[in-house]
Amino acid sequence: MKRLLLVLAAGLMLVALAGAVGLPELAVAQDAPEATDSITVTGVGTVDAVPNEAQMSFGVESRGATARAAVAANADAARRVINALRRAGARELATQYVSVYPVSDETGGVSGYSASNSVSAVTDVADAPGAIDAAVEAGANQISGPGLSSSNAEALYRQALGKAVDEARARAQVLAKAAGRSLGEITAIVESSAGTPQPYYAERAALDAASPIVPGEQETTATISVTFSLR
């Protein structure tokens, strides 16, 4: 019986040794990934275009002995101005503000009330002088603008973005060549805030017939940051 136990124990030891010899190494050295060189540049693209839309504000102020009288008179005057603008081809009409306030005399007492109503409107640049004349004829006595803009502003901005990428690539190629390297693929593009132009406000329009509106060129700008790999 003792001999049998000794034989079994020896066999188990042989099996254990064989398993230990056949075990794979638990820790295997791995090569660190090669660092990829890159270069990041800024590109700016611009597109010039003549604006074709004009945004203006048309207001009317009315006086009255009481606040109610001033508001009633102003409402009638504002309707006439709005209707005249629509007939002149103005669009996107929107009320900007309505106000009423007391008017003081020299002694500091209330001598009456003033009510105002202002509406914004958009016209083609070519139609802006006619809209001004029509509004004044209808009773508008407060006019400001025009704010000039392009109806295809988004398309202009996309063109500027394309030019910005081209400029970034050109700048990166110069830098890579100077460093004795060649340019690889684009690995990242970050767009800055949109650079669509703010409307340019010309001098306040004179309230006489055929007020001239002369649009100049506007510049739409796009700025991006581009990262290229280097070979």
- C-alpha 197/C-alpha 206 separation (Å) is 25
Query: How much is the pLDDT for 204?
Result: 37
Q: Where are the domains of the chain?
A: 38-50+152-207+215-230, 53-149
- In terms of Cα–Cα distance, which of 146, 149, 136 is closest to 57? 146
Burial of residue 67 (number of CB atoms within 10 Å: 0-12, 13-18, 19+): middle
Q: What is the pLDDT of residues 100-141, one digit of tens each?
A: 999 998 888 899 999 999 999 999 999 999 999 999 999 999
Average pLDDT of the residues of the chain? 82
What percentage of the chain reaches a pLDDT higher than 90? Answer: 67
Q: What angle do CA 194, 162, 224 make, to 5 degrees?
A: 45
pTM over 0.85: no
What are the E-state strand segments in 25-162?
38-49, 53-64, 91-104, 110-124, 142-149
pLDDT digits (tens, 9 = 90+) for 178-201: 999 999 999 999 998 655 454 444
pLDDT surpassing 90 at residue 43: yes
- Residue 145: predicted pLDDT: 86
Provide the CB-side half-sphere exposure for 118 (13 A, CA): 12
Name the CATH architecture for the domain at 38-50+152-207+215-230: 2-Layer Sandwich (3.30)
Q: What is the pLDDT of residue 127?
A: 92
CA distance 126 to 87: 15
* DSSP state letter for 181: -
Most confident of 13-17, 25-29, 119-123, 209-213: 119-123
Residue 41, Cβ neighbours under 10 Å: how many?
19
Which CATH number is 53-149 given?
3.30.70.2970
What pLDDT, on a 0 to 100 scale, did the predictor assign at position 207?
Answer: 38
What pLDDT sits at residue 107?
87
Q: Mean of the pLDDT values across residues 50-72?
A: 95
